[in-house]
Amino acid sequence: MTDGLEQLYYRALVAVVRDTEHGKTVRTVLERQLGVSRKLLSQVKLTEHGLTVNEVRAYTTAPVAAGDIIRVRMEREVSEDILPQPIPIQIVFEDEDLLIINKPAGMIVHPTHGHYTGTLANGVVHHWQEKGERVRFRPVHRLDEETSGLVAIAKTSYVHQQLSEQMQANGFLKLYRAYVYGSPVPDKGTVDAPIDRNPDQPHIRIVTPEGYPSITHYETLSSFGSSYGKPAAAAVRLKLETGRTHQIRVHMKHIGCPLIGDKMYGPEEGSDEDWENTAGRQALHAEILGFTHPLTKQWMEWQASLPPELELLEQKLSER
């Protein structure tokens, strides 16, 4: 491919037609071998070099022969609606297909109404601009503003599609660490409780029989102090099986162990403990992230250490 095409397109997805696929259509081979969605195919076939067989422009319904080489090239895109800003971002991993960021608490992932700047997206777009990369901002999942930790960002629509499908198939590993009031009983278990909006306050989620299926697995790592003969607080590791808005916060409140520092789902009355406001935000951190790389097919896993404010919280709790 010429330098001009390299600037215009991402690296090609390649499928070599197998003997058993002789006579099948381009679409069938790409769906079987690479899991390419029909939506993506409908986009790439509109450009001259987007979909080729043996470097000749092809249509999705065209039959292919064994040994034919099919290439899918996606046009490079930019997020024209996101203002680049020189915001410091902690890059954990980056290659041609993926970007993994350790997001600080207090930062929104994507611009929203009233928050057009100062977001993770603004910093990431600036980072790519400085590198001379034409990439559109595509977060695979998001974290609440006050939650810190690992966020995966796809650099192409194909990678975004593949990772989204992994999440839906429960092939994504997402482990969180939370500090909660009290300590869960039993120490290890599963919260299977449907979640939906509060009809009286739509920005708040509640557990309700009419809600969407929501499953959170938890394990108590340690308990701290004592209050009326019971632990005053605990460090808990959580694994999401579903990804509802505010799921961890809602489920932990549901079992009587709301997150420390959570203004929306915390206890109605504080405990006046010296550690209660140490973190200055909800004590939730996306600690471990893992999935299969869509292009290399290798399992990859990352871990983000606790931010200073949560380290200080744990230290104060441990001193009890």
| Digit-coded pLDDT (tens) for 147-160 | 999 999 999 999 99
Q: What is the mean pLDDT of residues 12-16?
A: 95
- Report the C-alpha gap between 160 and 216 in whole angstroms: 24
Closest CA to 71 of 92, 88, 56, 90: 56
CA dihedral 214→220→223→226, nearest 10 degrees, is 50
How far apart, in whole angstroms, are the C-alpha atoms of residue 1 and residue 187?
57
Contact of 236 with 249, CB cutoff 8 Å: no
Radius of gyration over every alpha carbon of the chain, rounded to an integer in angstroms: 23
Q: Which residues touch 30 (CB under 8 Å, ≥6 apart)?
A: 13, 15, 36, 41, 60, 70, 72
Residue 132 CA, distance from chain mean position:
25
- Nearest Cα neighbor of 105 from 257, 313, 317 is 313
SS3 string, 137-159, reads CEECCCCCCCCEEEEEEECCHHH
Q: How many CA atoms lie within 13 A of 312 on its CB side?
A: 11
Of the pLDDT bands very low, low, confident and very high (cuts 50, 70, 90), residue 85 is very high
Provide the pLDDT for residue 304: 98
- Answer yes or no: is pLDDT of 122 > 50: yes
Query: Binning pLDDT at 50, 70 and 90, where does residue 198 land?
Result: very high
29 pLDDT higher than 60: yes
Reported as a pLDDT band with limits 50, 70 and 90, residue 1 is: very low
Inform me whether the pLDDT recorded for 3 exceeds 60: no
Q: Using CA atoms, how far apart are residues 277 and 179, in angstroms rounded to an integer?
A: 12
CA 175/CA 285 separation, integer angstroms: 9
Q: What is the distance between the alpha carbons of residues 79 and 68, in angstroms, rounded to a whole number? A: 35
pLDDT at 180: 96
Position 169 pLDDT exceeds 70: yes
Q: Which domains, and CATH codes, for the chain?
A: 3-72 (3.10.290.10), 90-168 (3.30.2350.10), 173-303 (3.30.2350.10)
Which are the catalytic amino acids? 144
Query: What tokens were used for 265?
Result: 């789902």
Confidence at residue 272, expressed as pLDDT on a 0 to 100 scale: 63
CA-closest candidate to residue 10, choices 133, 129, 92: 133
Q: Give the whole-number percent of the chain exceeding pLDDT 70.
A: 96
Lowest mean pLDDT among 25-34, 194-203, 218-227: 218-227
* 236-284 confidence digits (pLDDT tens): 999 998 889 999 999 999 999 999 999 999 987 766 677 888 999 999 9
Q: Where in the chain does DSSP place strands (E)?
A: 13-16, 51-53, 56-57, 69-72, 90-94, 98-103, 138-139, 148-154, 173-181, 188-192, 195-198, 201-207, 215-224, 233-240, 284-292, 299-303
pLDDT bucket at 235, cuts 50 / 70 / 90: very high
Instruction: Give yes or no for a contact between 285 and 306, defined as CB atoms under 8 angstroms apart.
Output: yes
The mean of the pLDDT values for the chain is 93
pLDDT band at 202 (very low <50, low <70, confident <90, very high): very high
In the predicted structure, residue 5 carries a pLDDT above the cut 80 = no
